[in-house]
Amino acid sequence: MAGLGNIFHVEFGINETKLTRVLEEQKWAEAEKIIDENSHSSFLNEGCYRRIPLFIVLSGMREGWHLQFMPRNLYIARLLIQHGADVNYRIPETCFGSEYMNPGDNALELVVDFYILVTAPPKNRWNPKVEPVIGLYGELVNQYEELVDQLCDLVFIILGHGGDPNIADGNRMTALHRLLLHSGDIRMIKLICDNGADLNALDVKGNTPISSLCEGYEDDVFDLSPHSDMEYLEYMVSLKDVQLDHQNRYGCTAIFHSLVRRDFTAAFYLLRNGCDVTLRGKLYRTSSARPVSPLLAALSSPYVNNVDPSIDIIGIQMKPIDTHYVSHLVDAGFFTQNQILEELETYLKNGALMPSATISQNQSQVTCLGPRLIHLMFGGTTASLRQLCIREIFKSCFFRDAVKPRTPVDLPMFSIETAGEHTLTELISLLNIPKDLLVNFQVEMFRHQLCSHLQSCAATLRDYAIYGNINSDSDADSDLDENDSDLEYW
């Protein structure tokens, strides 16, 4: 027992009080009188299970049913705090009073949740006609800007009365994690950071707040839109204590997450600020998953489809891979490290990408290219005109365009799964081009085989998402989390 950490210590009563009764009935003047006349601060923390006074006035929910709204009263919340209510006090949420669900919400978490709702996109934003709010000074608040300012003021009051800015929810996410992920206004993020927020706090996956921002929503595996908000990202990077290269439980860093999500604006900004591109992470969580660098993670992203839809596929599951979206990053020299070159050479030397391919039998010319191999495979302006021409020839000879032929001459269709040096030599002879281009053809074939292999990994990850296993870890981890939950509750 002594070795268990991060246990939520809670205590709670089972009886309502005179104060909670008048709050439930929305008799605000009577509640104010009771608070002013109270001489014991502990009385302000008493209530029926979760429905203590601060929860009642900040949750916006009536007793019994979550979908029945009641006014939030920031004025009464301020009075409670100023008269000694414990701002860190929270009651676990249970299912019918027995099964533990989560550690509950304290005052800061309730305000942060409402702030996220208020600053949401207009379609999902708070509606004052549906969820009325009584402001810090007893007035009815209807304007967005006024409410955002008052919520920030209330958080400042909470923090000034001993509020813990790093209190974690059931997923060990702090207020900063959630604000970066879900809020639509940076003001409270700055307020939390200026008042003691742990910039490198770890959630259940081992993500720091900036890693969570770059990862976005893991469940939205088919969302093609970039997620990271540049205003938030630039602010977080500007803070001197932020660890940009922190690796989560699966080895993933902020730059890894950004490239997987194809958020290249965020990726370029992180790279300019010195993120380490050699740190490898796992795209999916099995013991057999092979860690890859951020560059290869971008090529195997499960969030995108890198296939040209106008092209018919020749051969089983072989797809023409489009890598132009990482070309500008490669051209800028961000991925020329020896560790990335060694990673590529490992794939090349093992010959495990395509069992029937024979490129590994004569690879000396390719392996001797050194850092230039990275530019030839993934570069744009740095790949050379010769290599760009070879890419177009590959599209013509190994993949058939569904709209029109790609070649001016009648060429046989080759299968890239079975293509080896003999196939490439035959192709060069048919096209009547210089034989010294063989190494360029080998590089291009390796590029397609590597990307196809990585895309098969992405397909595996998509399957994990579809069948609900994307968030699953080992049985041991699950058991440990479950035991912790029981201990936190009891």
Q: What confidence tens digit (pLDDT) does each residue in 185-208 have? A: 999 999 999 999 999 999 999 999
Is residue 85 pLDDT above 50, yes or no? yes
Residues in the chain: 490
Structure tokens at 247: 């690796």
- Return the pLDDT at 129: 87
> How many angstroms separate the CA atoms of 232 and 238, rounded?
10
> How many angstroms separate the CA atoms of 176 and 205, rounded?
15
- Coil, helix or strand for 223? coil
Do residues 85 and 54 touch, judged by C-beta distance below 8 A? Answer: yes
User: C-alpha dihedral over 176, 180, 184, 189, to 10 degrees?
Assistant: 40
CB atoms within 10 A of CB 96: 5
- Return the pLDDT at 412: 53
The share of the chain scoring above pLDDT 90, in percent, equals 47
- Return the pLDDT at 415: 55
Work out the pLDDT band at 302, boundaries 50, 70, 90. low
Query: For 316, how many CA atoms within 13 A lie in the half-sphere containing its CB?
Result: 4
Tens of pLDDT, residues 325-344:
899 999 999 999 999 999 99
Q: In terms of Cα–Cα distance, which of 309, 344, 351, 310 is closest to 330?
A: 344
Q: Which run of H or E residues covers position 453?
A: helix 438-466
Tokens 């955002």 found at? 148
Is residue 286 pLDDT above 80, yes or no? no
Segment 395-399 shows an average pLDDT of 72
Q: In terms of Cα–Cα distance, which of 252, 331, 329, 320 is closest to 292?
A: 252
Q: Which of 98-102, 357-361, 386-390 has the lowest mean pLDDT?
A: 357-361
Is residue 69 pLDDT above 50, yes or no? yes
> How many angstroms separate the CA atoms of 300 and 302, rounded?
6
Q: Which of 164-173, 270-279, 295-304, 459-468 has the lowest mean pLDDT?
A: 459-468
Q: Which run of H or E residues covers position 297?
A: helix 294-299
Do residues 149 and 185 touch, judged by C-beta distance below 8 A? Answer: no
- Return the pLDDT at 428: 81
Summary mean pLDDT of the chain: 79
> How many angstroms separate the CA atoms of 312 and 335, rounded?
32
- Return the pLDDT at 323: 76
Q: In terms of Cα–Cα distance, which of 184, 115, 119 is closest to 152?
A: 115
- Predicted TM-score (pTM) of the model is 0.81
- Coil, helix or strand for 447? helix
Strand partners, 100: 94
CB atoms within 10 A of CB 9: 5
Strand partners, 51: 48
Q: Which of 33-37, 139-143, 260-264, 414-418 has the lowest mean pLDDT?
A: 414-418
Q: Which residue has the higher pLDDT, 96 or 235?
A: 235
Tens of pLDDT, residues 230-246:
999 999 999 999 999 99
Helices (H), 14-127: 18-24, 28-37, 53-59, 74-82, 107-118
Segment 159-173 shows an average pLDDT of 95
- Return the pLDDT at 476: 39
Q: Which run of H or E residues covers position 374?
A: helix 372-378
Strand partners, 99: 95
Is residue 465 pLDDT above 80, yes or no? no
Is residue 55 pLDDT above 90, yes or no? yes
- Coil, helix or strand for 102? strand
Longest dimension (CA), the chain: 97
Work out the pLDDT band at 446, boundaries 50, 70, 90. confident
Do residues 118 and 97 touch, judged by C-beta distance below 8 A? Answer: no
User: C-alpha dihedral over 200, 204, 209, 211, to 10 degrees?
Assistant: 100
